Each structure stands twice: as C-alpha cells, then as structure tokens.
Amino acid sequence: MPILHVQYDGQGQSPDGKTVKIPPAAALRQHGPVGIGQLFSDQLLQQGSQLPKPVSGNALIDTGASTTCIDDAVAKTMGIPVIDVVTMASASYASTQQNVYSIQMQIVGSPIRVEVPNATGASLQTQGIVALIGRDYLQHCTLHYNGITGQITLSI
C-alpha cells in the first residue's frame, strides 16, 4: 500500500542568473527524497495522561542510515522521555553521546503509523528536517526510487 508518492519539481539558476525550472529527475537528484512527516508518541495513551503534542515537519529518507533519527530539540520540546544514550561517530570531531527516544512516525495523509522504538536524537533542525528515516523504519517498507522520472514511492 503506497503511503507516500512524490514527484519532485524545483527551480535553479541558469548561468546568466535567471531562475529556470528544473526537470523532476534533476530535482530529485539534487534534493533527495524528502517527505512530509508527523511525529508523535502515544506510549502513555492507556494511562489517560496528556500525550506529547505531535510535531509535523519534513523527514529525509536516508538508506545509508542504520537507525532513524529525530531532532533532539524537537524531542525535548515534545517531552518525550529518554530511554537510552548511545555514542554517535563523527568524522570531524570526537564521538558524541546522543539520547535515544521511543517515537512513532506517520506520513501526513496516511493512516499508517510506524513505531520506531529506538530513534537516535541528533541536531537536524538546522538542516530543515525534523527526522531522518533510516533502515530500521525502511525495513517495513518498499521504496521505489525512480531517478528518471524524479519520483519516489514508499509502500508498506
């Protein structure tokens, strides 16, 4: 069942500085497969406690990432509890300790929610995304990346 189908479109600048339309295939290659996502946690539903308010934002599908990441500032704002701390490698500086959160993710417009029990916190908002969808999420999905037409389809 497809839960996300995106055909990319974009603009760029020609050598003389004019804004020109970029074909979908080129836009997809340049910007990557970014989908609109909604994050929320409902671990406390059964208690009748007030749930953290969901946060919507863009998420980046990253087949190179073994685990899904959530922006740490977003997780803190939502009040999601930390359930572990892991070490994250860095090429340019010492490895850092990052919080781990239990979250749910939902693609806006799709009723399907995917549980990510151990999403790693990371600084993502400066990149304009709230989450990075890794292979622990994608293991439940089929992802079609059509570079020729500039389309992606994520099915579950």
Partner 1 sequence: MPAMLEKERKFFDKNKAKLVAEHVGKFVLVKDSILIGVFNTIEEAISEGARRFGLQSFLVRQVNEAPTPEINIPALTLGILNANSTRPI
Strand partners, 20: 12
Determine if 140 is a binding residue for partner 1 (CB under 8 A).
Answer: no
Determine if 12 is a binding residue for partner 1 (CB under 8 A).
Answer: yes
Give the position of tokens 């439940």. Answer: 140
Site string for partner 1, 81-110 (x = CB under 8 A): xxxxxxxxxxxx--xxxxx--x--------
Q: Where are the alpha helices (DSSP H) in the chain?
A: 24-31, 72-78, 135-138
Among 11, 46, 94, 139, binds partner 1 (CB under 8 A): 46
Residue 75 Cβ vs partner 1, minimum distance, rounded to whole Å:
11
Report the largest interatomic distance among the alpha carbons of the chain, rounded to a whole angstrom: 61
Instruction: Report the distance separating Cα 51 and Cα 35, nearest Å.
Output: 24
* Alpha-carbon distance values, 51 to 2, 55, 69, 146 (Å): 28, 12, 21, 38
In the complex, the residues that contact partner 1 under the rule CB under 8 A are 12, 22, 26, 29-30, 43-44, 46-47, 49, 52, 60, 62, 64-67, 69, 72, 79-92, 95-99, 102, 115, 117-118, 120, 122, 124, 127-128, 132, 134
